[in-house]
Amino acid sequence: MKSIFSACLIFYISLGLSAQEAAPAEPAASPALESLAPENTVEAARLATIHYGTETEVAALIQVLKAEGSDYLDRELAALVENTRNQQILTGVFTFFGDRGVGGLENRAIRAIEERDDEANETILAAADYLGKVKAGGAVDVLMKLLDSRERRFMAIAFRALGRAGGGNQVDADDTAEYLIDYYTNRDPGDENRREIITALGAAGSRRAVSFLAEIAASGEERLALRIAALDALAKIGDPEGLDAVISSVSASDPNVRSSAVAALGPFAGEEVENAILEAFRDSYYRTRIAAAQASRERKLEKAIPYLRYRAERDDVPAVRDEAIRSLGAIGTGECLSVIEALFSERKNADRVRIVSAEMLMQNDPGAYLGRLIAELDEAKTKNQTALYNGFLKIAGEARTEKLEDTARRFLSSGGIIEKSYALDMAANNSLRALTEEVRALTTDKNQSLARKARRTLESLEAGTTPD
């Protein structure tokens, strides 16, 4: 019964209705709501939810905002958490802001940790996680104090948060590294937290951690999970001092260590590194081949093109083929694009191969390949290949080329809701001002979500701006 109520509530809020509006009685309007024009009743209803709603109603609203990618209520949500101790509201807003890396709640999050005796455990966890995700350097001391308290319920997330927060500048990074190494070595954090500390050292990014991490990565007697975490941390720091430990791990007996070592080669330079990457394409463990493709992409390693071509065309693991195609696209030579074009054009290939290939072609030269993409998109629709059609449509919506104008106009005038939504993306991404009137017509569409997107697109067209 509870799940049915929640589903209905999200439905109401997605239409701009708070639970209060769904009921017969109406609350008194606040000055902020009274200032809104009648056509903004959706926004007014959402403000009402923030001002007067229950924790369940606010949580449902946040889910709707996430789905829409909307941020226009951030200031109101920040004001809400400043003066509440409601666990669900605090957790929901901290998570909503943290997932997007949006600052503004640092003081409230620090206060929650400092006053944790008066807060729910879930609130403390969400506050610490938020401080890490926004790299709040000012929270380093309070996170260290939280760890000094040795409250095990908070330790794992506090270690992760400290690593991220400490990575904001060199001084904090070095201090964080020294603190974490000392904790690992001298304070018995427990096996369950050792990996968290290693991961945090990688996030902090200090060179002072390299020798410590290299010793763990190269040790055949160390637990596999810790070796893998240390390799990942060395890659994030990218200091040459850690290369020997990574290279030695490429030939480890355990396939998971091998694949992690190859993945860690990306930031490093030298012929020895390149040879190790090329050799990894021969590994029978598919994750090692994926790691080789990813390392080639990071380095734009032209020596790897023949290996990538072979994997893109013949590997029996779809994920390896995907990564090989993406790597060819990142390298982007004429030879690479020729291979990708052939994979895209062959209609017998799997949908995912053709979609990834189309994505790479459009990233490299959208003007040259747009015509082919639209032709294949229409072909997919004619043959009711829904997954392929939707994949191509998404790629077209994200493309950056003015040649999309005719396609966008077609979708705006005769497409369904999904086509119209992607057409708005095309118009916004490419500043297609010739479509201003078509976009304006959608601002009053009965689908509220589409109408809001049309209004945002119209504003960007009239202002002459494009999304970041």
Render pLDDT for 11-34 as a digit per residue (tens, 0 to 9): 444 444 333 333 333 333 344 434
Provide the token pair at 373.
């993409």
Amino acid 114: pLDDT: 96
Amino acid 466: pLDDT: 60
The rounded distance, in Å, linking the Cα atoms of 229 and 201 is 10
Q: Which residue, chain included where needed, has tokens 């905002």?
A: 65
CB count within 10 Å of CB 160 equals 20
Amino acid 465: pLDDT: 64
pLDDT of 213 > 90? The answer is yes
Amino acid 23: pLDDT: 36
Amino acid 168: pLDDT: 84
Region of poorest pLDDT, from 5-19, 346-360, 447-461: 5-19
The average pLDDT across 283-307 equals 96
3-class DSSP assignment, residue 71: coil
The average pLDDT across 235-243 equals 95
pLDDT of 297 > 60? The answer is yes
Could you give the angle at the alpha carbon of 47 between the alpha carbons of 43 and 49, nearest 5°?
Answer: 115
Amino acid 463: pLDDT: 84
Is residue 60 packed enough to be buried (19+ CB in 10 Å), middle (13-18) or exposed (0-12)? buried
The set of residues, in sequence order, having a beta carbon less than 8 Å from that of 223 and lying 6+ positions away, is: 191
The set of residues, in sequence order, having a beta carbon less than 8 Å from that of 415 and lying 6+ positions away, is: 423
Let me know: does 177 contact 206? Beta carbons within 8 Å: yes
pLDDT of 4 > 80? The answer is no
Closest of 340, 267, 341, 337 to residue 297, by C-alpha: 267
Could you give the angle at the alpha carbon of 251 between the alpha carbons of 250 and 256, nearest 5°?
Answer: 65
Higher pLDDT, 25 or 320: 320
pLDDT of 370 > 50? The answer is yes
What share of the chain in percent tops pLDDT 90? 86
The rounded distance, in Å, linking the Cα atoms of 8 and 25 is 19
The set of residues, in sequence order, having a beta carbon less than 8 Å from that of 351 and lying 6+ positions away, is: 385, 387, 388, 391
Q: Which residue, chain included where needed, has tokens 């995912």?
A: 352
Instruction: For 44-94, write each residue's pLDDT tens digit.
Output: 899 999 999 999 999 999 999 998 888 999 999 999 999 899 999 999 999
Amino acid 38: pLDDT: 43
Amino acid 464: pLDDT: 75
The whole-chain average pLDDT of the chain stands at 90
Q: Where does residue 91 fall: left (phi above 0), alpha (psi -120 to 50 degrees), or beta otherwise?
A: alpha
Instruction: For 135-187, write each residue's pLDDT tens digit.
Output: 999 999 999 999 999 999 999 999 999 999 999 889 999 999 999 999 999 99
- Name the pLDDT band for 43 (thresholds 50, 70, 90): confident
- Name the pLDDT band for 204 (thresholds 50, 70, 90): very high
Task: At 401, give phi and psi (nearest 5°).
Answer: -160, 135
pLDDT of 103 > 60? The answer is yes
The rounded distance, in Å, linking the Cα atoms of 311 and 317 is 9
The rounded distance, in Å, linking the Cα atoms of 202 and 158 is 15
Region of poorest pLDDT, from 13-17, 112-116, 441-445: 13-17
3-class DSSP assignment, residue 43: helix
Q: DSSP assignment, residue 27?
A: P
The rounded distance, in Å, linking the Cα atoms of 1 and 68 is 27
Amino acid 32: pLDDT: 40
